[in-house]
Chains A and B, each alone.
Chain A
Amino acid sequence: MNTTPTGTARSAPERNAVETAEPAEVLRAEGVTVAFGRGARRKTVLHGVDLSLRQGHTVGLVGESGSGKSTLAKVIVGLVRPVSGHVALDGEDVTGPRGRAATLALRRRVQLVPQDPYASLNPRMTVGEAIAEAIDPRRGGLARHRAAVEARLAQVALDPEAADRYPAQFSGGQRQRIAIARALAVEPEVVIADEVTSALDSSVQAEVLNLLTGLRRSLSLTMLFISHDLAVVRHVSDEVAVLRHGRLVEHGPCAEVFGAPREPYTKVLLASVPGRGGSA
C-alpha cells in the first residue's frame, strides 16, 4: 500500500545519457511515521513513508495541503524526529539521537531552500554576507570569502556586484536564486526545494526553474523538489512521488506516472490541473 516499487528503469535516459550504471542511492527514508500531539489529539501525519533519492536525480514530491510533504522534508533535514522508521544518508542513519556536533554536520549535508524568498533572507545583511555565512557559519565574512561568494553568484547567473547589495534590491526571482546559491554554497549532498516557485509570478518562475534545470545538469544535483503544482514538478523532476494523507500512494519515473497513472488519486490530481483543454 505504501509504495509502488521505485523501479530499476532509468527515469530520464535522455538527460542522463552519460551514466552507465545505476546511480548510487544517496538518501533513503524507510517506514517514516510521524505523529504530533498526544492522547486523544494525537494525529499521525506520515504513515510509514518509504522514499529513496539517487545520485543526480530529482524526485518531485506532490500532494495537497496537509498531505505531509513539508513534514517529510523536516524529517529529512532533522527538524522533526519520526516516531518510527529512519532516514539514511549514504547508508548512515541520521534520525537517531546524536550529539550536537553530529547534528550540525548532518544539517550541512542536506540543504533546504525555503518557499518564500522574501522571508528567507535577512533584510539587514548583504547578499555576500549571507552566502559567506553559508560557507563558514562560524567565522564567515564577505572579505574572507569574496572569491567563493562571487563564484556562487555566477552559478546562479548573478553579477559579482550583487554581493554588496541588500535583499530588498532584488526581485522575487533573483532572491530565490540567491537562496539557491546560499544552499549550494554548503556543497550539500541533497537539496530540498520546498515550494520554491509558488510565491513567484509565472514569468519569474520560469527563471528559477531554468536555473534548477541547468544546475541539475552541471552539478548533477540530487534534489527533492516539493510542489503542489504538477506541471512544475513534471518540468524539473526525473521521478515523481505522490503523497496523500501521509501515505505515499504512487512513485515512479515522471513519464510513467504522468503518462499512465496507476492510482485513482493520481488520476484525479492530473485531471484537476487546469488549462488542459479537456475540462471546459
Chain B
Amino acid sequence: MTATRVRKRARPNAMLVTGLVGLTALFVLAVVAPWIWGDRADELGPSVHLGSSGEHWLGTDALGRDLFARTLVATRLTLELAALATAIASIAGTVLGTLIWVSGPRVRAVGLRVVDVMISYPAVILALTIAAILDPGPKACVIAIGVAGCPSFARLTANLAASVAGRDFVATARLLGVPSLRLMRRHILPNIAEPLLVLVSVSFAHSLMALSGLSFLGLGVQLPDYDWGQLLSTGLQSLYTNPAEAVGPAVAIVLAGLSAGFVGDGLAARAASTSGNSAAVKPGSRKASASAPVATGTDHSVPDDAVLVVSDLRVRRPDGTALVDGVTFHIGAAEIVGVVGESGSGKSLTAMAAARLLPGGLRAEAHALELRNPGAEPLALAAPGRDGAAVRRRLATEIGIVYQDPSASFNPALRLGGQLTETLRVHLGVSRREARERAVEQLEFVRIVDPEARLRAYPHELSGGMRQRAMIASALLTRPRLIIADEPTTALDVTVQAEVLALLRAANRRDGTAMLFISHDIGVVTDLCDRVLVMYAGRLVEELTAAELRDGHARHPYTKALLAATPRLEPDGEADGKLDAETGDGLLAAIPGRPPQPDERPAGCAFADRCAAVLPVCRDTPPPVRVLAPGRTVACHLPETGAPVPVQAGPKAGRHDAAVEAVG
C-alpha cells in the first residue's frame, strides 16, 4: 500500500518523460553526429539523386552526398540556432516583463498594451520583416525569431508577477523596504518559474519551426552550411524524382518539435498537479487505520426516539487511510448535539457523511448510519450505490443543511425565491404559490424584513448575516427531522453570530428539530447545544453535556487542555481554579506539538504525544471507551477519567447512578 502511494506521488508524467527522452536523444545526436558522420556527409559520391537503398538509407543529393548523414549532422546547427533564439526570447522577454512590472503603474499600463499589440502581430511575419531588413543569414534569423518571441515572455512575466504581487509575502517585503528588483528576483520570479519554464519549451518548438521555415525560404542558413530547413528546401526541388530526399529533414523537424512540445505540456501538467496538491501525501507508516476497533458494538443506550444513529463510522480516503476512525453517537429527538474539534479532527467529515455529502473519493462505512423516523423505515446513509427517487426525496426533505459560507451556498445567478422553494416544488410537489407562501413564512421566522421583496432579490443583494438567515430559512422549509449545521457562524461577526444562534435555538424549540452542530469554538457550542462531542484526530475522545463542559467538568486531558488554551472574557474565570483559562502569570496553557496527520496516527491514543498525563500504555493501546452515564463517555486510559460522575442538577444528567465501564 505504501509503495503504491509513493509511486503515485512521484508518478512520472508520461508526456514529460517522452519529451525529455526525445530531447536528450537529439542533444546527444547534436554533439556526436558531426564527429561520426561529418566526413560522410560532405563526401561527394558518384551517384546523384539516388533513391533509398541499403547503402544510402535516404538516398543522395544532387552532389551524391549521403542524405541520412547530412540530416544527422544538421541536428547540431538546427538545435543551436533554435536554442539561441529561445534564449534571446526568454531572457529578453522576462527582463522586459520585469521592467514593465517594476516601473510603476503608468509605465506598466502603457507597456502591457504595447506588448499586447506586439503579440497580436504574427511572430513569423515579424521575423520575416526583421530578416529582410538585416542581411539574410542565420544571425538575422536568430535575432528575428528571438525578438518575435519576446512579447509572449514579457506578457506572461508581467501578468504572473501581478498575480503573485497581490500575495501577503510580497506586501510584507515591500513594507520591509525590499527594493523592486530584489523583490522581483527573490520573491516573484521563483514563484512564477514553472509557467515560464513551460513557455520556454513551447517557445523552443516554435523557434525550431520558424527557423526551419526561414531556412526553407532561403532567408536562413546559407550554403555551404545546412540545417534541416535548408535540407528540406533542396529536397523539395526533387520531390517528384526522389521523394526520399525530403523525408529525413521533415521527420527530424517534426520529432524535435513534438519532443519540445511534450516537455512543455508535461511540465504544465506537473505544475498544475503540484500547486493543486501542495499538501502532498507523505509516505509514512499508517499503523492506525487498520487498528482501533474501539467503539464497536458499544450501543450505549440509543433511545427509541433517536433521529440520527451513528455507530462505528469510518470515512476513508481512496488509499484506505481512515480520516474519521470509529465514531459512535446518536442524536435524540429535539436534541442539539455539538461537535467540537480542531481543523483536521474529522468533525466536518462526520457531519457530511451523515448528510451523505462526502466529497468525491471518500467513502463512509459504519455499523449503523441511519436517519430514523417513527413513521417510516430507517434511512441508511452509508449504503453505497444509486438512490431511488424515494430515498433522494427523504434525503432532501428530512435533512436540512446550513453551510459555513453563506456567500458560497447560494447560486449567485438565480433569485432567492427559486432557490428557496426548489426542494418543496421538486420533492414534495408543492405548488409554486404555496411554496412561496411557506418561504415567506420561514423568512419572517428568521426575522428577515420584507420577505416578499427578498424572494425577488439575488443573493449578493443580502448581507452575510442575512444570507445565513435565509440559508437557515431554506433548511427549515421542509420541516426536516434533522438539521446539520457545519460551522454556520464562523464567517459571521460576533453580534450576527449571536442572532443566528438564537434563531437556531428558536427553530429547535418551535419544530422540535434535532441538530448536529459543528464548530471549532467551544463557547458557541456550550451556548447552543445540549450535548457535546469532542473529536481529536478522527476519533471521539469525550462526550458530555454542555453544562458539564461549561462548568469545567471535562474529563479527557484533550478537552481540558483545549479549555485551558482558550482565552476567556472574564479573567477571574470559574470558581474551579485549576481549570481557569489564565494561570497566574497571564499565560495560557498552550498544547505542545500538533495533531498527527491521518496517515501517521499512532496505534494507541492519538493525543498521547501532546498529553501532559501520558502513561506508557497510552502509546500502543487504543484507549477504552468508558461510559460514565448515558450521554457521558470518555476514551482515555487514565484511571481518574473513569471515576463516577458526581451528582449534579443538570437537565440532561438525570441517571448517573450506574457508572458503567465498557472496554471496547
Which A residues form the contact surface with B (CB < 8 A)?
15, 64-65, 77, 79, 104-105, 107-108, 111-112, 114-116, 119-125, 129-130, 133-134, 137-138, 168, 171, 173, 179, 182, 186, 201-207, 209-210, 213-214, 228-232, 234-235, 258, 268-277, 279-280
B176 A133 Cβ-Cβ under 8 A = yes
Provide a sorted-by-A list of 12 A–B residue pairs whose CB atoms are within 8 angstroms. A15-B586, A64-B495, A107-B177, A115-B168, A122-B170, A124-B191, A137-B177, A138-B178, A206-B565, A207-B590, A231-B523, A273-B569
- B64-72, B93-101, B524-532 - interface stretch: B524-532
B493 at the interface (CB under 8 A from A): yes
Contacting residue for B567 out of A79, A104, A134, A232, CB 8 A: A232
B176 A122 Cβ-Cβ under 8 A = no
Cα(A213)–Cα(B498), bound, Å: 29
- B182-190, B286-294, B632-640 - interface stretch: B182-190
Which of A79, A138, A274 has most chain B Cβ within 10 Å? A274
Question: B355-389: contact bitstring with A at CB < 8 Å (1 yes, 0 no)?
Answer: 00000000000000000000000000000000000
What residues of A have a CB within 8 angstroms of the CB of B569 in the complex?
230-231, 234, 258, 270, 273, 276
B493 A133 Cβ-Cβ under 8 A = no
Cα(A115)–Cα(B169), bound, Å: 11
B50 at the interface (CB under 8 A from A): no
B568 at the interface (CB under 8 A from A): yes
A104 B168 Cβ-Cβ under 8 A = no
CB-CB under 8 A for A137 and B588, given A64-B494, A202-B562, A272-B497: no
A112 B524 Cβ-Cβ under 8 A = no
Contacting residue for A280 out of B497, B546, B561, B571, CB 8 A: B546
B177 A277 Cβ-Cβ under 8 A = no
Q: Which residue of B lies closest to A236 (CB)?
A: B567
B591 at the interface (CB under 8 A from A): yes
What residues of B have a CB within 8 angstroms of the CB of A105 in the complex?
177
Interface residues of B in 489-547 (CB under 8 A from A): 493-498, 501, 520-528, 546
Contacting residue for B167 out of A108, A119, A234, CB 8 A: A119
What residues of A have a CB within 8 angstroms of the CB of B119 in the complex?
none
B173 A202 Cβ-Cβ under 8 A = no
Which of B169, B173, B190, B527 has most chain A Cβ within 10 Å? B169
B566 A123 Cβ-Cβ under 8 A = no
B179 A276 Cβ-Cβ under 8 A = no
B172 at the interface (CB under 8 A from A): yes
CB-CB under 8 A for A201 and B342, given A119-B169, A125-B190: yes
Cα(A269)–Cα(B496), bound, Å: 10
A274 B191 Cβ-Cβ under 8 A = no
Q: A114-B168, A121-B169, A235-B571 are in contact. List 8 more A-B contacts (CB 8 A).
A: A65-B493, A179-B172, A202-B566, A228-B493, A231-B566, A273-B494, A274-B494, A274-B521
Q: Lowest 9 A-B CB distances belong to which pairs?
A: A275-B523, A206-B565, A274-B523, A124-B190, A272-B498, A64-B493, A206-B590, A235-B567, A203-B591
Cα(A231)–Cα(B342), bound, Å: 18
A107 B169 Cβ-Cβ under 8 A = no
Shortest C-beta distance, B382 to chain A (Å), equals 29
Cα(A116)–Cα(B179), bound, Å: 23
B175 A228 Cβ-Cβ under 8 A = no
CB-CB under 8 A for A271 and B498, given A201-B520, A213-B586: yes
B568 A231 Cβ-Cβ under 8 A = yes
Cα(A57)–Cα(B568), bound, Å: 21
Q: Which residue of B lies closest to A203 (CB)?
A: B591
What residues of A have a CB within 8 angstroms of the CB of B53 in the complex?
none
Interface residues of B in 545-603 (CB under 8 A from A): 546, 550, 561-562, 565-571, 582, 586-591, 594
Which B residues form the contact surface with A (CB < 8 A)?
167-179, 182, 186-187, 190-191, 278, 342-343, 464, 493-498, 501, 520-528, 546, 550, 561-562, 565-571, 582, 586-591, 594
CB-CB under 8 A for A77 and B175, given A230-B494, A234-B571, A272-B495: yes
B186 A122 Cβ-Cβ under 8 A = yes
A210 B590 Cβ-Cβ under 8 A = yes
A202 B501 Cβ-Cβ under 8 A = no
What residues of B have a CB within 8 angstroms of the CB of A112 in the complex?
172, 175
Residues of B contacting A: mostly: helix
A138 B501 Cβ-Cβ under 8 A = no
Contacting residue for B176 out of A137, A204, A270, A276, CB 8 A: A137
B187 A231 Cβ-Cβ under 8 A = no
Cα(A230)–Cα(B571), bound, Å: 12
Q: Which residue of B lies closest to A125 (CB)?
A: B186
Cα(A186)–Cα(B546), bound, Å: 46
B528 A210 Cβ-Cβ under 8 A = no
What residues of A have a CB within 8 angstroms of the CB of B494 in the complex?
64, 228-230, 269, 272-274
Cα(A228)–Cα(B521), bound, Å: 14
B588 A209 Cβ-Cβ under 8 A = yes
Which of B190, B524, B567 has most chain A Cβ within 10 Å? B567
A203 B179 Cβ-Cβ under 8 A = no
B493 A108 Cβ-Cβ under 8 A = no
Shortest C-beta distance, B81 to chain A (Å), equals 33
A275 B520 Cβ-Cβ under 8 A = no
B565 A114 Cβ-Cβ under 8 A = no
What residues of A have a CB within 8 angstroms of the CB of B342 in the complex?
201-204
B498 A274 Cβ-Cβ under 8 A = yes
What residues of B have a CB within 8 angstroms of the CB of A129 in the complex?
186
Q: Which residue of A lies closest to B178 (CB)?
A: A137
Q: Which residue of A lies closest to B170 (CB)?
A: A122
B588 A276 Cβ-Cβ under 8 A = no
What residues of A have a CB within 8 angstroms of the CB of B496 in the complex?
64
Q: Which residue of B lies closest to A255 (CB)?
A: B571
Cα(A276)–Cα(B494), bound, Å: 13
Cα(A231)–Cα(B568), bound, Å: 5
Q: Which residue of B lies closest to A67 (CB)?
A: B493
Which of B167, B176, B177, B562 has most chain A Cβ within 10 Å? B176
Cα(A206)–Cα(B581), bound, Å: 10
Q: Which residue of A lies closest to B574 (CB)?
A: A277
CB-CB under 8 A for A104 and B177, given A232-B567, A269-B495, A275-B550: yes
CB-CB under 8 A for A123 and B497, given A234-B571, A275-B550: no
B172 A280 Cβ-Cβ under 8 A = no
A137 B182 Cβ-Cβ under 8 A = yes
Shortest C-beta distance, A17 to chain B (Å), equals 13
What residues of B have a CB within 8 angstroms of the CB of A279 in the complex?
498, 501, 527
Q: Which residue of B lies closest to A119 (CB)?
A: B168
Shortest C-beta distance, B181 to chain A (Å), equals 10
B497 A274 Cβ-Cβ under 8 A = yes
Cα(A272)–Cα(B497), bound, Å: 8
B172 A209 Cβ-Cβ under 8 A = no
Shortest C-beta distance, B515 to chain A (Å), equals 14
B567 A203 Cβ-Cβ under 8 A = no
What residues of B have a CB within 8 angstroms of the CB of A234 in the complex?
567-569, 571
